[in-house]
Amino acid sequence: MSSAEPLLYERVAGLVAGQISSGALRVSERIPSVRSMSRSARVSVSTVVQAYTHLESLGLIEARPQSGYFVRARLRERLPEPPPRQIRSTRPRSIAADVLDACREAIQRTDLVQLNMACAPPEASPNRRLNRLIRDELRDHPNHAGEIVLPPGDYELRRQVARRAVLAGAATNPDDIVITGGTMDAVTLSLGVLCKSGDTILVESPTYFGVLQAVEHLGLKVVEIPNHPARGIDVDAIRGAVGGQRLAAAVLMPNFNNPSGSLTPAEAKRDLVSVLTGAGVPIVEDDLYGELHFGAGRPDSLRRFDTQGLVISCGSVSKTIALGYRVGWAISPAWAREIQRAKFFTSVAAPTLQQRVLARYFASGGYDRFLTGLRRMLAESAERFLDAIASAFPTGTCVARPAGGMVLWVRLPPGVDSMELFRAALECRIGIMPGIVFSAKAGFRNYIRLNYGCGWSPDVAAAIGTLGRLVRRMST
Amino acid sequence: MSSAEPLLYERVAGLVAGQISSGALRVSERIPSVRSMSRSARVSVSTVVQAYTHLESLGLIEARPQSGYFVRARLRERLPEPPPRQIRSTRPRSIAADVLDACREAIQRTDLVQLNMACAPPEASPNRRLNRLIRDELRDHPNHAGEIVLPPGDYELRRQVARRAVLAGAATNPDDIVITGGTMDAVTLSLGVLCKSGDTILVESPTYFGVLQAVEHLGLKVVEIPNHPARGIDVDAIRGAVGGQRLAAAVLMPNFNNPSGSLTPAEAKRDLVSVLTGAGVPIVEDDLYGELHFGAGRPDSLRRFDTQGLVISCGSVSKTIALGYRVGWAISPAWAREIQRAKFFTSVAAPTLQQRVLARYFASGGYDRFLTGLRRMLAESAERFLDAIASAFPTGTCVARPAGGMVLWVRLPPGVDSMELFRAALECRIGIMPGIVFSAKAGFRNYIRLNYGCGWSPDVAAAIGTLGRLVRRMST
């Protein structure tokens, strides 16, 4: 996608974009002139012009004749963010299975603008490199079909995952890692190890529907605590929940909740780990989106704040390079052995070829460079989506500002039924996820989740326009 | 491995081998002369000579000077078969986790003669063809890494699995099939759909240790009914168990029980399906080994005898061509939708590349031809193992005669502790599976399971000799 080093003009543009994003430069403020930027950044005038033109094309700044460049008042500044929801439930109520079946079927349709997924398009993966590594693997292990790599999984892959764990603020070693069939497999296996049927676990509201369904499949009950679109996990609510009942575990997405896109700040992470582990409650961290941060550094895993060894951190490459590989991992010095056993007895092993190809990919470098490009694409796409929604959707619409990941959590005006919108959108060949699947109580009826991971395109622009018209019609 | 049509001499050899195996020709009986066989089979004299020479090399017949060919008295005729065990348990007792960990670790060691596996060697897979199909797939779907094929799974693969289901006596259609991450994944998902924690299910004794561990992971209790090494599943015991308590499901391996290798006859299949489904008990059939029959035709799936739609049949290609692919399936018109959901919510999907490559493999033909060769290799290997055990192990050793599959179930003389043998064998760089892992009550303490899927080789011959010496030492 991009070369290792950002180009000069990209560096300058990043500098200005960072100042805007941090609030150092506010709407309508003048940004440094081309000449002064050229001097201070020690680049040529033409490089600065290229940088400013790029920022203009992104809608971040605008040129005013005879005055210079200014931070643009973006349409979406008008969009408020949704407030957190205070939903509690002491037992899960099934989300109607037919709703989820309809959602799953929509995801598989190839004739839709797929705003219902949570992933980048297949062509955004580093396909040529991955396919070359597969060919290398076929050459070096021609008999791989009959070879099985049992849990804990390929050693070199575990070594590479351990190496990357440092970036998430928590060193680990290969023996603490179990290779699984993706992040959800890691979460489900962990819950199977930590809980027995009838136990109660703590989850966020909203949270990924797959977690809620896996929990139901395992016969567990849930307590929901709010995830605030802007502030992340509500630590006070966790304090309350811990006092109220015995919790067998918590499943949390501090790094870019799906669907809210929120990042739980480091301080809150420290507090919630302290509250939960202080009460002896193990935490299963779903860190699937952790690498997709818009801020400067990768946010920490909860493991960084865990002094008791009670956090199991689950991840994969499904949202970055290889959704179709079905390889992920669980990191846990305390339960690695139990998770290995559970993997072996319930589904034996992860696929051999993909384990080895991912190990090759990590070892050969370039993943971080790839991620830099992907993050930039996602951040730009999020901006476009926000502006387009601000322009197309009626007043009363709120959108959470994602801190990373690939989804937007949109609250529609009161009275709009997102299931009705889901069906109407399907007829217009647009896929969306209705809000009710993201809580055990089937709340969030006027919310939808939109995938901006697909990137911006004329089709997407038209789809947002169509959705806006449908919502306007439904809200009047 | 071999061409589609058996060669003429193979057909003649198969004829005679079939008569020996059916008992039509007994030990020391004279087989038809070369001339009379040439006339009756309408083949040349030299073809008959070639056939008889082949049978001689297999140790099935012997030439006696001036007398002709005779059925050979094989060493293993001295080996009795073990009796069935009447083990019952109303709750599972954990097999010590450290025993299973030790077994799993031994399976992964590359420095052992691996008689502890249940698979053919990786080089026996049709690797060149499979790898060519992978290259074709990379060419046709270069972006497969980012593409996901959600449950029920790749349509063409389901179509091919449905097409093959006819060979097992039970037609089905692609919509009744869910692609999973292997057979055990299909079994575990099915049990998750059929049972809730605390339920009791029926299993065979002995049965595959993974089933027992998955059952424990799911919080289920078991009732064990005997599997007879020669006659298969004990239908009378099922009758008794059905009357005794509420059963949420039964997990059965009628086609080549692992570890006993037994085939449950068609009549018994009909009866047990009638007894169980008559009582409303769903059956999860583990048909992993069904294609690996030594008899003339593929044995039927229990689905053939199921008039109530209560059988879920689980299978894969793990024991035939691609243990490392991690792709299998569940066939069930009644529960396909629930199994789809469970797969989606617990681990999302099976790997994209392998689903498509297997669909290509099945579609392009040659699987049956490959299986013919694999079955011949396995049957010959089983003969070699039986003779070698008969010669190396002490009196008091019993071995089940497998009707298919790839494992031998060996009862050692009373007093020999198979865990002690397991450890002693490891020190001699030989892997075996101790009997205690094959029942919930940790019985079968003087049994071991040996893999003849590895084929016969000087290393294997030496390993059997070493095992015999170790057993002799332990039994005195």
Q: Supply the pTM of this predicted model.
A: 0.84
Find chain B residues with C-beta within 8 A of A350's C-beta. 326
Whether B476 has a pLDDT exceeding 90, the answer reads no
Report whether CATH 3.40.605.10 matches the domain A95-122+369-474.
no
Find chain A residues with C-beta within 8 A of B104's C-beta. 150-151, 340-341, 344
CATH no. of A8-73:
1.10.10.10
Residue B206 preceded by cis peptide, ω within 30:
yes
Could you read off the pLDDT of B219-253 as tens digits, one per residue? 999 999 999 999 999 999 999 999 888 999 999 99
- Contact yes or no for A127 and B150 at CB 8 A: no
Of these ranges, A33-42, A458-467, B71-80, the one predicted with the greatest mean pLDDT is A458-467
Whether A135 has a pLDDT exceeding 90, the answer reads yes
Cα of A466 to nearest chain B Cα, Å: 26
* CATH architecture, domain A126-367: 3-Layer(aba) Sandwich (3.40)
Residue in A134, A346, A377 to test binding to B, most B beta-carbons within 10 Å = A346
Could you read off the pLDDT of A361-384 as tens digits, one per residue? 999 989 999 999 999 999 999 999
Report DSSP state, residue A3: -
Q: Out of A185-194, B23-32, B409-418, which region has the weakest mean confidence (pLDDT)?
A: B23-32
Could you read off the pLDDT of A239-263 as tens digits, one per residue? 999 988 899 999 999 999 999 999 9
Whether B122 has a pLDDT exceeding 50, the answer reads yes
- Contact yes or no for B352 and A219 at CB 8 A: no
ipTM higher than 0.85? Answer: no
Could you read off the pLDDT of A316-372 as tens digits, one per residue? 999 999 999 999 999 999 999 999 999 999 999 999 999 999 999 999 989 999 999
Whether A53 has a pLDDT exceeding 60, the answer reads yes
Residue A394 preceded by cis peptide, ω within 30:
no
Of A150, A192, A318, the CB nearest to B107: A150
Could you read off the pLDDT of B98-120 as tens digits, one per residue? 899 999 999 989 999 999 999 99
Predicted confidence at residue A118, as pLDDT, reads 96
Report whether CATH 3.20.20.210 matches the domain B93-122+369-474.
no
Residue in B346, B367, B451 to test binding to A, most A beta-carbons within 10 Å = B346
Find chain A residues with C-beta within 8 A of B377's C-beta. none
Of B121, B130, B147, the CB nearest to A324: B147
Whether A308 has a pLDDT exceeding 70, the answer reads yes
- Contact yes or no for A145 and B151 at CB 8 A: no
Nearest residue in A to B352, CA atom = A324
Predicted confidence at residue A85, as pLDDT, reads 54
Whether B385 has a pLDDT exceeding 80, the answer reads yes
- Contact yes or no for A341 and B213 at CB 8 A: yes
Find chain A residues with C-beta within 8 A of B352's C-beta. 324-326
Of A185, A322, A340, the CB nearest to B146: A322
Cα of A237 to nearest chain B Cα, Å: 27
Whether A28 has a pLDDT exceeding 80, the answer reads no
Confidence of residue B87 (pLDDT cuts 50, 70, 90): very low
Domain ranges of chain B: 8-73, 93-122+369-474, 126-367
Whether B89 has a pLDDT exceeding 70, the answer reads no
Predicted confidence at residue B2, as pLDDT, reads 42
